[in-house]
Amino acid sequence: MAKAKRNKLIDLSQYLALRMAVMVMHAFPIEANLKLAKFLGGMVYFIDRKHRERALGNLRRSFPDMPEADRAVMARQSLQHISMLFIEIFFTSRLIRLDTWSDYVELANFSEVLRLLLRRDKGIIMLSGHYGNFEVLGYVLATLGFETTSIARPLDNTYVNDWIMGIREKKGQKIISKKGATDEVTQVLDSGGAVGFIADQNAGPKGIFVDFFGRKASTFKSIGLLAMQYKVPVVVGCARRINDRFRFRVEAQDIIYPADWENESDPLRYITQRFTKGIEDFVLKDPAQYFWMHRRWKSRPKGEAPEAFD
């Protein structure tokens, strides 16, 4: 079904309202804004029944032994983290600079990643998930001089999209549209560059189903196929928010090298399952920072009924 034509006047009004709101935000310290974001996220939990139930449903199936009261707390915290991410996007370019980045970001298990980024003879694939502040990953690397190309779905409001893309690309990170990205991605890998993906998207019925929190989750084949075609390492990492503040621990959870899959009978499944397990492992370190309202398990293997809360 074709999308309805957007009203440019409404889009422009939304854009101007957002710009005004961000101007007001910048009159206050980031920590004050994050407290407001937590409050608003908590309000959304109580008001938005649809997303609350989806988050709780995902948590019930992912943590069957967790008390329901604890799941409710975690679902509310998840929505608070999403609200904080939205606020942080508009402060990142002001706060994270070459002379200040270490005030807000600590790198963990990252020396090998830096080595891979410094060599220019072969590309690298970098993956994260809907967790913590995934937006800050590419921005920090660009600030440090490591250009990355990230794949993202453009926002429907073109005015807002162009503005936010400008923020994200300010330090040299390149954002390309998910639709039709194949040619640009292959060019980056051909030239020895780094390509970044959010790798926990539901891939629909044509995806490859691998285990994620004890359930089959449809996952895009393209990441594994690119790694196999170009024989490049795959880095799985995240940016975990520390103490609900504008401070992040950027860490590499796993690095999958070509030698790891070359003798596997099904290398595509091996790569896909391993990076999915890497995402699960970093989520488990602080599950409240995962976007549990995300429709990760929407598609089901053939013969399996859809999940009721999706």
Tens digits of residue pLDDT in 130-148 = 999 998 998 899 899 888 8
What is the distance between the alpha carbons of residues 294 and 201, in angstroms, rounded to a whole number?
A: 9
Tell me which of 188 and 105 has the higher pLDDT: 105
Tell me which of 306 and 28 has the higher pLDDT: 28
- Segment 10-26 shows an average pLDDT of 94
CB neighbours (10 Å) of residue 232?
21
For the chain, give every domain's residue range: 8-289
Tens digits of residue pLDDT in 113-132 = 999 998 877 899 999 999 99
- Segment 21-42 shows an average pLDDT of 96
Tens digits of residue pLDDT in 258-302 = 999 999 999 999 999 999 999 999 999 999 999 999 999 999 998
Per-residue confidence at 2, pLDDT binned at 50, 70, 90?
low
Tell me which of 198 and 183 has the higher pLDDT: 198
* Model pLDDT, residue 258: 97
Q: Quote the mean pLDDT of the chain.
A: 92
Prediction pTM value = 0.93
The residue among 89, 69, 108, 54 whose CA lies nearest residue 309 is 54
- Checking if the pLDDT of 74 tops 90, the result is yes
Cβ within 8 Å of residue 49, ≥6 positions away: none
- Segment 47-68 shows an average pLDDT of 96
What is the distance between the alpha carbons of residues 162 and 127, in angstroms, rounded to a whole number?
A: 24
* Model pLDDT, residue 170: 74
Identify residue 59 by its one-letter amino acid code. Answer: L
- Checking if the pLDDT of 3 tops 70, the result is no
Q: Percentage of residues in the chain with pLDDT exceeding 90?
A: 75
Per-residue confidence at 180, pLDDT binned at 50, 70, 90?
low
DSSP the chain: -PPPPP-HHHHHHHHHHHHHHHHHHTTS-HHHHHHHHHHHHHHHHHH-HHHHHHHHHHHHHH-TTS-HHHHHHHHHHHHHHHHHHHHHHHHHHHH--TTTHHHHEEEES-HHHHHHHH--SS-EEEEE-SBS-THHHHHHHHHTT--EEEEEPPPSSHHHHHHHHHHHTTTS-EEEESTT-HHHHHHHHHTT-EEEEE------TTSEEEEETTEEEEE-SHHHHHHHHHT--EEEEEEEESTTSS-EEEEEEEEE-HHHHTT-SSHHHHHHHHHHHHHHHHHHTSGGGB-TTS-TT-S--TTPPPPTT-
* Model pLDDT, residue 222: 93
* Model pLDDT, residue 1: 47
CB neighbours (10 Å) of residue 16?
11
Per-residue confidence at 310, pLDDT binned at 50, 70, 90?
low
